[in-house]
Amino acid sequence: MIAATYPLVRKLLFSLDAEVAHHTSLAALRLSEKTGILQRLATPAPTASPVKLMGLTFPNRIGLAAGLDKEGNTIDALGQLGFGFIEIGTITPRPQDGNPKPRLFRLIPHEAIINRMGFNNPGIDAGVANVRASRTFNGPIGFNIGKNKDTSNENAADDYLICLEKAYPVADYIVVNLSSPNTPGLRDLQAADSSARLLELLKSSQEKLTAEHGRHVPILFKVAPDLTESQVAELAKVFLDGGLDGLIATNTTLDREKVASHPWANEAGGLSGKPVFDKSNRTLAGFASAFSKQIPIIGVGGISSRADAEEKLKLGADLVQIYTSFIYQGPRLVRELATL
């Protein structure tokens, strides 16, 4: 029933400022879940064969990408819509407000979004507490972690290590976000030598935390779709040599070629949605070829149909995630992808 009524809900939400609509919809989901209304209205997602990957069991291949539930306080409600796994964040060691508003823009004719949120989040301690409070979702929960804006790149590893240590007891996997375009200088950490040093430090900490907690929590890196072929090749070697557990390909793009006609095309921030699909796929295919199935890949970027998701899997992804298309299409798309 929720899937059927979403076009009307979307019309209402799209009449609001994009960020206001974001917070309103998440608050409504939480309220409907707590009162039991969501469970009565949500049609159970079609059953799928579970997928075993990175030592985890995923009820289905479709996940929610980071950026929607930044705080990790809507996990149970989102889980009732059919997602097989949910990634929260990006979360930083200390709370931060993010960039000045307005910072979220809908490019409706392109089914796209430009955001320059800037890692607005309540901090890692609040994120951990929220995940501990979730009760009904039975799929893997990922923590997408980043550095605070006022932390220099020279000290970025300290921020990632803080988040890794604090999230480790409750996370099912942890994603190192090196590719958001909305924190100044962050993408510089994608350079091969910087990534190699950071990965070495994180893997060393992971080994100690595994012994301490008696569980291995996979570490993944999330990369940009704007990498060149040579950068992909260099990073792939770093990830293979460094023992990376998994890769998320990709984040948002800075490229505006496919939305150049839109009046908001020149707004600063990362572009997501349909226009990033082809560019994201090229990056995904490059890593998949280099990895030869040695490192699992979660494909994300521009998926707006089952055929799009199948293309990601064909190119080498093991799982897929959505975000922008969920805003435009709602729960119907989740159900459509749940049987991949």
Per the annotation, binding residues are 66-70, 90, 115-119, 144, 177, 182, 222, 250-252, 273, 302, 323-324
Bind-site residues for FMN: 66-70, 90, 144, 177, 222, 250, 273, 302, 323-324
60 residue type, one letter: N
CB 109 within 8 A of CB 53: no
* Radius of gyration of the chain, Cα coordinates, nearest whole angstrom: 18
Just list the catalytic residues: 180
The conformational region for residue 292 under phi > 0 = left, psi -120 to 50 = alpha, else beta, is: left
d(CA 155, CA 309): 37
Please list, residue by residue across 120-144, b when 16 or more beta carbons sit within 10 angstroms of its beta carbon and e when fewer do: bbbbbeebbebbeebeebebbbbbb
Alpha carbon distance 268, 270 (integer Å):
7
